[in-house]
A and B are shown apart, each in its own frame.
Chain A
Amino acid sequence: MDQFTLNLIVVGLTFALYIGIAIWARAGSTAEFYAAGQGVPPIMNGMATGADWMSAASFISMAGIIALAPAGGYEQSAFLMGWTGGYVLLALLLAPYLRKFGKFTVPEFIGDRFYSGGARLVAVICLIIISVTYVIGQMRGVGVTFSRFLTSENFTVTTDTGLYIGGALVFIYAVLGGMKGITYTQVAQYVVLIIAYTVPAIFISLSLTGSFLPQLGLIGGYAPTGGEISMLAKLDSVVTELGFKAYTSDSANMFNMFLFTMSLMIGTAGLPHVIIRFFTVPKVSDARLSAGWALVFIALLYTVAPAVGSMARLNLSTTFWPGAVTGTALSAPALSIAEIDSNPDLGWIRTWEKTKLLEMSDKNGDGLIQYFSEPKVVADAGKALAAANKALAEAAADADKAPLEAAVVAAQTAFDASLTEGKLGDKTLAELGFKGNELTKVDNDIMVLANPEIAALPGWVIALVAAGALAAALSTAAGLLLAISSAISHDLIKGSINPNISEKAELMWARIAMTGAIIVATYLGLNPPGFAAQVVALAFGLAAATIFPTLMMGIFSTRINKEGAILGMIAGLVFTSVYIFLYLGWFFVPGTNVYENVPANHFFGISPLSIGTIGAVVNFAVAFVVSMATKAPPQHVVELVESIRVPRGAGAAQSH
């Protein structure tokens, strides 16, 4: 059976499972549609939260981001700590109290606690910006996975077709089952994605470190030379020999790494689609426990990811420099093109070259592919040469080409000179006979997607990775869509437009809102705004600067009033978005940025990705000062706060 058929069967089986669950778990009431009837056991909710939280980015991209970061893998630990540490904040500071409050949406709590429809509306706006930006990436992830795995010689699923299939599938189980359908599908999706992630990781860990557990492999010895030298030390020595920064080297900007980690943590705790998962458990104590179970299931992937990242990087380096397995990289010739084409174990290189995730070019024509980091002088001269060539190629047919040709010749001379200057170790590139890095592109995603093939695993594991990537993207998309549709049907329609709406009518509106949200998400996935990658920064920054501080103050203070909360949220929103826009362009329109987005231009070295932490401080400060200057909240609000602080009576407060 060929790989394509196998992929099709495994993906098809998982989809059939999701649809079966959807039919079994239909929602009959608004309580079931918004909060799965508040009857989900904590372990199951933990699993669903794991799938809800771990997106296409966690599954496909994170290990590669860590593996290939130019500043080294250590600095990227911000993602590992940030995207898990937020659950401590959720369990201690938010989840139990919001469960006790016992209603369905995050804006609803903000509206009731701050006795203000205005506060609720500001929260709805923040929620929609956060969730819509997030869902675009998930829909793209679905489309891209389809196009990579479900394509054969005579049959092609384009990214667009993949998107329609994904949208239709989410439509079936989200519209039919609401939170109930989504919850039980997410449980199944979690199982698929965690098996798909860990099986290849175990094999790569066994082959590189002899350790069955990738977590132990990360700190284990390098097996091919008997385990004397640690895997990380081996990785450091290979990559530094090839001119890259050491994998474990310190962060260049510790202050920014601190703020970035904090921003991801409080952003995680403030993401509405994660918070609403804790509305589905029966009791307050279950909400605390459930956050723990969620982190157990998330940690299974997040503690494996750095092992996958470092080992895949080492594997990639030793594949292209066979000498590095037992000695130094440059002690033997680089991998030859003939070897790539004849050795079946290296078939993955050509496979992934077709998808453009990997690109090679034999610049010096020696039939070998030299992979290294070009010294700065060579890289700069190479860029200048490429620019000169481009100018010549783009010149109008009737233009005078002589000066452009002269420029190319001059740039070529400068480039050749740079080769005698730039060094790898103690030899210049000219002495080594290199004309530049020949593995010209290695996409982050390949570190996970090609892992089973690099480790020469059987075809069903490759098919499982395809199903796992789809499960990760679909489960997160469904959670986000529910957060969006419940904000529309519950907060906007029932909350402000028509408070007297019957439950049956509200349920219908919830389904209509879900349908609308899926159509918009699919459309945005098909036509992603050019800024799709940047807006993720905005989503985390805004969740950190708006929702998290407001919820926390609502629970831990009885003195913060509606004026303070509204102005605090607006201050956090405006401060954070303006700082991001200064570097990424006003409303992300390219070319309208005030400063170039390079570390040298950042205020106090704070990158736009890390600004959410400062935005949260601004929110807290404004809310405190304004509240002190204005009237204290009314007595019934003080009583509300006191009642959510004690667990007793959680069952009675629900469903109205």
Chain B
Amino acid sequence: MADKSSSNAYWAANIRLITLCLVIWFVCSFGLGILLRPALEGIRVGGADLGFWMAQNGSIYVFLVLIFFYAWRMNKIDAEHGVEE
């Protein structure tokens, strides 16, 4: 296993990435899909308003992109810190 300081840097990089992803996760689903829907009524996505579409379809696409982005970035971070399998 890598030495202690490198493993701390690895964990810190992971936490930063998780925080970024979870902020996007929260803003897209709870933010745009629920809390901000009344304020964004005017923005249209096809025949729906933005909040309705985010709640019923859009946030699911965002979740998908987030997981694959996280998996891809983590593979790079694993390799940079020499902890890949």
Contacts and interface: CB of A to CB of B under 8 A. Distances in A.
B71 interface: yes
Interface residues of B, number: 43
Contacts of A233: 47
A648 B57 contact: no
Contacts of A258: 30, 34-35
B71 A261 contact: no
B37 A292 contact: no
Contact of B1 (A73, A262, A649, A651): A649
Contact of B78 (A80, A285, A299): A285
A216 B29 CA distance: 20
* A219, A258, A649 pick with most chain B CB within 10 angstroms: A219
Contact of B83 (A87, A251, A647): A647
A414 interface: no
B80 to A, nearest CB: 13
Contacts of A288: 67, 70-71, 74
Contacts of B10: 645-646
A339 interface: no
Interface in B19-47: 21-22, 25, 29-30, 33-35, 37-38, 45-47
A219 B45 contact: yes
Given A77-B56, A258-B35, A261-B29, A285 B85 contact: yes
A77 B33 contact: yes
A534 interface: no
Contacts of A93: 18
Interface size class of A (residues with CB under 8 A): 35 or more
Interface string A633-656: 000000000110111111100000
Nearest to B15: A556
A87 B49 CA distance: 26
Given A258-B30, A647-B84, A80 B56 contact: yes
B67 A254 contact: no
A474 B38 CA distance: 41
B64 A283 contact: no
A289 B64 CA distance: 11
Interface string B47-71: 1110011011101110110111011
Contact of A292 (B55, B60, B64): B64
Contacts of B48: 218-219, 230, 232, 248
B52 to A, nearest CB: 5
Q: Which label, helix, strand, loop or mixed, suits the secondary structure of the A interface?
A: helix
B45 to A, nearest CB: 6
Most chain A CB inside 10 Å of its own CB: which residue of B1, B25, B61, B70: B70
A241 to B, nearest CB: 18
A646 B84 CA distance: 8
A519 interface: no
Contact of B57 (A221, A254, A306, A646): A306
B79 to A, nearest CB: 10
A291 B71 CA distance: 9
B21 A650 contact: no
A89 B2 CA distance: 27
A462 B21 CA distance: 41
A540 B22 CA distance: 21
Contact of B60 (A285, A299, A651): A299
A525 B2 CA distance: 52
Contacts of A341: none
Q: Interface centre among B7, B37, B48, by most A CB within 10 Å? A: B48
Interface string A218-256: 111100000000111100000000000000101100100
Contacts of A216: 46
Given A232-B47, A285-B71, A77 B78 contact: no
Interface in A601-656: 642-643, 645-651
A92 B68 CA distance: 11
Contacts of B66: 88
A296 interface: yes
Given A91-B67, A299-B60, A648 B25 contact: no
Contacts of B14: 645
Given A285-B75, A651-B85, 10 more contacts: A73-B56, A96-B74, A219-B53, A220-B46, A221-B47, A285-B84, A292-B67, A646-B1, A646-B2, A648-B1
13 contacts: A74-B55, A81-B55, A85-B25, A92-B21, A230-B46, A254-B35, A258-B30, A261-B30, A289-B71, A292-B71, A296-B64, A646-B83, A647-B83
